[in-house]
């Protein structure tokens, strides 16, 4: 799976978790998506995601 696809998948999963009211799981999925991003893009990750 390409990193772009994986990031999209994780962000969609985070959105679904939020809709269910599971904020903790959504935060975990967002953190995982941030970890998949290339090193040069990590500087643009918001503080809450890092």
- Domain locations along the chain: 3-49
Cα–Cα distances (Å) from 31 to 19, 21, 24, in that order, read 18, 17, 11
* Predicted pLDDT at 50: 43
Question: What's the pLDDT at 45?
Answer: 52
The three-point CA angle 22-7-46 to 5° equals 70
Lowest mean pLDDT: which of 5-14, 18-27, 36-45? 36-45
Can you give the pTM of this predicted structure?
Answer: 0.72
- DSSP string of 1-50? --HHHHHHHHHHHHHHHHHTT-HHHHHHHHHHHHHHS-GGGGGGS-GGG-
Q: Which residues contact 5 (CB under 8 A, 6 or more apart)?
A: none
């Amino acid at each position: 799976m390409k990193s772009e696809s994986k990031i999209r998948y994780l962000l969609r999963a985070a959105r679904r978790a939020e809709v269910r009211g599971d904020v903790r799981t959504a935060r975990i999925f967002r953190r995982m998506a941030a970890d998949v991003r290339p090193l040069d893009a990590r500087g643009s990750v918001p503080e809450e995601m890092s």
